[in-house]
Structure 1
Amino acid sequence: MASDTVLEKNDEVDLALTWSGRWTLAHRILAVNVLTLALVALAIVYLDSYRNRLEKERIHKVSAEASMAAIALKSVPPGRHEALLADLSRHNESRIRLYGPDGKLALDSWHLTGPTYRLRDPTTQKWTKDVARALDRGFNALVGEESPDEFVEPAADTADAWQEVMASRRSGRTETEIRQAPELTPVFSAAAPAAGGYTLLVTDNDRAFTRTVRKQRRSLMVALGAVAILSILLSLFLARTIVRPLRRIAFAAHRVRLGRAREVKVPRLPSRTDEIGLLARSISDMSQSLRHRIDNIEAFAADVTHELKNPLASLRSAVEGLERIEDPALRKQLVDVIRQDVVRLDRLISDVGEAARTDAELARARFEPVDLGALIGQLVSAWETRRETGNVRIAFARPRRASAIVMGEPGRLARAIDNIIDNAISFSPPGGLVEIAATHVGDEILIRIDDEGPGVPHELREAIFNRFHSVRPKAESFGRHSGLGLAIARAIVEGHDGEIDVADRDDAPSGARFTIKLKAADRA
């Protein structure tokens, strides 16, 4: 047993949460998903912003090269133009072309220096380049980036084959353009107006740009891998905080269902304020309530067995005596005993059935507004007209109409109040007065039933509500009460979330005062 206690304590500690104990499950799941998505989104935004920034720098570089080359042409004699453009082309690893006013190609740096860059055929490259290009396309689609036009050297290299050259001629300013080589590396170009109606065109296949972007992307992929690992760890954390306690709770519920243990302790997880904690405490309370109900049923069955044995034993003894006794007077006494035992058994069985049905019926009942003033008035009239009260009088201080309304089941409430009135009448002396009142106090309805009997000793004020409590007035006829009336009354009142108690009267020399407290119905 001690090991079980230690295990349960370890379970509570093992399933408890520390810093996240006040987070609901929805908050935790949302936090994991949002964190992962947020980091991915930030990575994408950062890479897109980085690429755009780098692209602007490269465009500015080509534009500045074209502008400076056009200015430099003005400062050197025509005979030095070829050498100047050749030097600039070799230094910047670009191709510089000069178109005359008629649009024809006047000068090409590659004719002097040879190619300074080479467009590569993607079909001759390794598969790793295909993967890189696929990632490039995927990223562009993800950020909504439109693919630039493919760079193709014109068959007739004239000014009108280049839209940036024509734009520069129209605007008189430097114009730029971005195109895409076959292996998806960018080709930056810039056209700038030169002296004498000439236009200078600079093109540059900047492979370093692509290498830089891809290197940055690899770094972000490493970071996203770390994010993925973090997400897995957070998922494992969620599994620990959700799956493991649920498994423990389910196992405890299974043990409750099997019923092999007298009492199964379900982890209550008091430190957890999330849904798992609420579930654990609800199931724990449910199992305790079930255990309590089972104990009550077992005790009730034992009490019923005990109570039935007494009249049955008396009945059997009387029946056996009838066979041996010939004296008519004694036989008449035995017949009276048999009749009383039958009456007692009938009353006992009726009350046992009523007690057994009370909890189940209240659990299924649909409560409705009940005017206790009218209800008690009907009960009092029934006692005065159809029931025997001896010469005991009943006085009911009827409340104002609709001032004592509760939510409840009318038949059950009537039975509870009727049982208390019956008890008060049975203990009242000849000519006594039973006083009944119902008042609205705060948010409660108080029902007070006073009698002029001997009262209830302090040590018995709780015991009288137990089932089969058998202390009865000496003058009461045999078999009239089973000892279940007050127990049924308490079960009904507590089933309506009310309270019932008994005390001595403070306004009379003797007598008991039963008080029923019920929550008043909300007024519309």
Structure 2
Amino acid sequence: MARHPPLLLSPLLWRVLAVNLVSLLILAGGVLYLSDFRSRLIADRLERLTQQARALAGAIGESAVIVSRDGDRLDREAARRLVIRLIDPERTRARIYDAEGTLVLDSRLVGGGRVEAEQLPPLSAERPRLLVWLNALEDRLVGPREDRSLPLYEEKSGERASDFPEVLSALVGETDRRMRRLAEGGLMLSVAVPIQRFRRVLGAVLLTADSRALDQLLDAERRKILKVVALSFAITFALSLYLALGILRPIRRLSQAAERIRFGASKAEAIPRNRRRRDEIGVLSRTLAEMTQALYHQLDRVERFAADVAHELKNPLSSLRSASEALSKAKDARTRRRLIEIIAEDVRRIDRLIRDISEASRLDAELTRSRQEILDMKDLLAELIDRTRDPLARGRLLAERGITIELLAEGSKRFPVRGVPGRLTQVFANLIDNAISFSPCGGRVQVALVREGGRILVTVEDEGPGLPKGAEEKIFERFYSERPEGEAFGTHSGLGLAIARQIVTAHGGRIHARNRLDEKGTVMGARFTVELPAADR
């Protein structure tokens, strides 16, 4: 018996889980690709910083300039008031340089440079290990971020314009933007804008801001996404497990039941039908259960057929043994001839019985393999009746007994059916042969052909003694034989009508029999009716 892996180790279970979870893993991988979003945020921050620097430079050029004959110069006190009014020291640092590149004002210096104020990061600013690991994984998968290639930002005492290339660019009248990396991680963004009055450069404004707030925003978004992914992963895993087990359990029960049947379980063993399920697994279960019952029925039919064969062979074999034993002891020539005739007759009976049994046993397989075609029942019956009338067939017997055969069918009407011509001919040949056998001298066999809706009906009637009472269904059983008076015993095997029903059923039709009665209820003969589905062209 095949061994099944534990349910939770089933390959099908893990395939279902993998298919359902891979999409979530792809979504989780999207967390690693927030670099583009970060770059856009930084670009937007640089743009706003540039606008802010231009506004401050314009305000200083308009209201913080001392005009004199020796030349215009920046008013440090007025510039300080503007910086205090326009710049948020917690987010942005402002530095103002004069035309010679000397640092005039720094927003981090309060009260004439005696006190320095700097916004410190919060105590909880240390990044969670998971986010650090995600950044490391991102660097490994998509390469290090562009921050790694930027120059390091350094604070120097006695700063001058020469320490910042962007300030040098501003002092010649150009706006310049730069990014530098911080030693503790993140970026320092800087924008330098010239301070002009009547297009004359009087100095430069340098605004700087770090990317700490942006990185904190991204880390917060990453944490939110990871929480959603983790929750979705757990829910999807549970639902996938439920789905996989809902598929695996009934399939495993079907497999185990099939194995028990295969290895000789009793016929009481049944395939579970899963009646409550309305999906494909339920349909499969019920189909397999029905197939198993059909196989059981087929085995029963085979067993009964084998028993019937043994019973039917037993009689001629017993007669053959008795005759052969008696032949060895008989001394009279006449007795010996009679015994030899009995032995020959028994051999013929056994040969006929074996031939019919062989045909009945291979009939199903032959009907399955045979190619069906559309044929006209009127033509088939007319050809069959012509052959029956032939003197080389039953024509001589018909002439001696004065029996006539008639075919009744509408003139030009066609009666198409789909079937195997040889086997359908065998059915009606058997019915006509039986009708002839039971017909009295001068009798008439009538074959009628009609169409009712989507079915073709063929009736074969005779004027014989009719069917025994209650034998309307028994005559279609195997080895049932009811022969007319005067016919030698063993002439027929009793399989003819059973084979006929088997053929008709295989063609989607049915066959039944009853007696013909007159108005007084007297039996006037037998009538066999064959119904076949019409095959409209």
TM over 0.5: yes
1:91 aligned residue: 89
1:481 aligned residue: 492
Quote the offset at 1:245 in angstroms.
Answer: 1.2
Aligned pairs (5 A) from 1:369-518:
369-385=374-390, 386-388=392-394, 389-390=397-398, 391=401, 392-397=403-408, 403-457=414-468, 459-505=470-516, 510-518=524-532
Report % sequence identity: 36
Quote the offset at 1:408 in angstroms.
Answer: 2.4
* Aligned residues of 2:63 and 2:78 also touching (Cα < 8 A): no
Quote the offset at 1:34 in angstroms.
Answer: 7.0
Quote the offset at 1:381 in angstroms.
Answer: 2.3
1:80 paired residue among 67, 77, 82: 77
| Counterpart residue identity of residue 218, structure 1 | R
Q: 1:81 to 1:367 in 2, by over 3 A?
A: farther
2:69 aligned residue: none
2:106 paired residue among 94, 109, 119: 109
Pairwise CA RMSD of aligned residues? Answer: 4.4
* Aligned residues of 2:510 and 2:532 also touching (Cα < 8 A): yes
| Counterpart residue identity of residue 521, structure 1 | A
Quote the offset at 1:65 in angstroms.
Answer: 4.3
Distance 1:506 1:180 in 2: 113
Query: Are 1:37 and 2:23 counterparts?
Result: yes
Distance 2:208 2:250 in 1: 66
2:135 aligned residue: 133
Distance 2:120 2:150 in 1: 12
Which stretch shows the higher mean deviation, 253-262 or 394-403? 394-403
1:185 aligned residue: 186
Q: 1:100 to 1:455 in 2, by over 3 A?
A: farther
Distance 2:287 2:511 in 1: 27
1:268 aligned residue: 273
Quote the offset at 1:282 in angstroms.
Answer: 2.1
Q: 1:305 to 1:205 in 2, by over 3 A?
A: same
2:70 aligned residue: none
| Counterpart residue identity of residue 497, structure 1 | G
Quote the offset at 1:461 in angstroms.
Answer: 1.7
Distance 1:99 1:447 in 2: 117
Distance 2:168 2:466 in 1: 118
Which stretch shows the higher mean deviation, 362-371 or 307-316? 362-371
Quote the offset at 1:416 in angstroms.
Answer: 2.3
Distance 1:348 1:378 in 2: 28
2:296 paired residue among 275, 285, 291: 291
Query: Are 1:281 and 2:282 counterparts?
Result: no
| Counterpart residue identity of residue 271, structure 2 | V
| Counterpart residue identity of residue 235, structure 1 | S
SS for the counterpart of 1:370 is strand
Quote the offset at 1:425 in angstroms.
Answer: 2.2
SS for the counterpart of 2:465 is coil
Q: 1:279 to 1:128 in 2, by over 3 A?
A: closer
Aligned pairs (5 A) from 1:153-192:
157-159=164-166, 185-189=186-190
Q: Which of the pair has the greater relative contact order for Cα pairs under 8 Å at 6+ separation?
A: 1
| Counterpart residue identity of residue 53, structure 2 | A
TM-score, normalised to structure 1, is 0.76
Quote the offset at 1:300 in angstroms.
Answer: 0.3
Distance 1:275 1:155 in 2: 79
Larger radius of gyration: 2
Q: 1:136 to 1:321 in 2, by over 3 A?
A: closer
Number of equivalenced pairs: 481
* Aligned residues of 2:59 and 2:82 also touching (Cα < 8 A): no
| Counterpart residue identity of residue 382, structure 1 | R
1:18 aligned residue: none
Which stretch shows the higher mean deviation, 61-70 or 355-364? 61-70
| Counterpart residue identity of residue 406, structure 1 | V
Larger helix proportion, structure 1 or 2? Answer: 1
